[in-house]
Structures are given as structure tokens and as C-alpha cells.
Amino acid sequence: MKQYKCHKISEGCAEAEAIVSGDHIMFYLMEPETGRVIENAHDLEGKTIAKKILIFPGGKGSSVVQADGLFQLNMHGNMPVAMIIQFPETVLVSSAIIMEIPMVDKVDPAFYQDVKDGDLVRVDATNGVVEIL
């Protein structure tokens, strides 16, 4: 197990499989019914973020499509269980807080070198800790 310090954005704890994106994410370009990324040529195209720890640089697109995309995923029960973001922005932060999704940033840079798709990750935003189990 490896442990890394982080900064809490939205409190809570979650443990799940990691899905890592090198690309910024537009939540509007996901199927709400499955959580599958449908954006052409995206790093995660064809993969699902549902019930996973989503690790990504940040969001893209207007605030309206970001908030609506997250809302639609939430309505279908296909949100990530936690989000680790490198470049948080107001709409994603407020959406995570409102939808009670643990979100952290400022994770030790070594984490991004160590974590891989499919790793079991625990996010304890409340205590400022991320672990690769």
C-alpha cells in the first residue's frame, strides 16, 4: 500500500477501481445510462467512469454542459465514487459538493507516476489522504 497527501475539496471517503485520464473531461460527452465516455478520440473513449475513482486533469466545455452532464450521470447512478483532479474549476467543485462526491486535488506528484488503470484506490478526502491499495 502506498499513501499520498492531498487537499480536500469535497469531503467523504470512497474505495474503488481507478480509471486514469490524461485528457480533460467533458461530462456531457458520456452516456448517462452507462457512464461510458463517447467523446471521439478521448483517452477514455469507450470506457466507463461509473462507480470508479476518476483521476483526470480537469474539465472542459461550458459550465452548463459540465453541470448537466454530471447531473445526468448522477440521476442514473453512474457517477464516479470519487474524483482526483489536478486543475479544479468552480463548476466541478460545486457539483462535487452538491452531489456529495469526494473530490481532492494537490496530490503528491509521485501518485500520478504510480497509479494505473485498474488499481484499487482509496480516497479519504476528509483526512487528506489517497492510497493505492
What is the rounded distance in angstroms from the CA atom of residue 122 to the CA atom of residue 52? 10
> Is 62 labeled as catalytic in the residue annotation?
yes
* Residue 40 neighbours by CB distance under 10 Å: 7
- Which one-letter amino acid corresponds to residue 34? T
Q: Give me the residue label for grid cell 440521476.
A: 75
CA angle (78, 90, 128) in 5-degree steps: 75
Q: Give me the residue label for grid cell 473513449.
A: 45
Catalytic residue, from 10, 21, 62, 95: name it: 62
Catalytic residues: 62
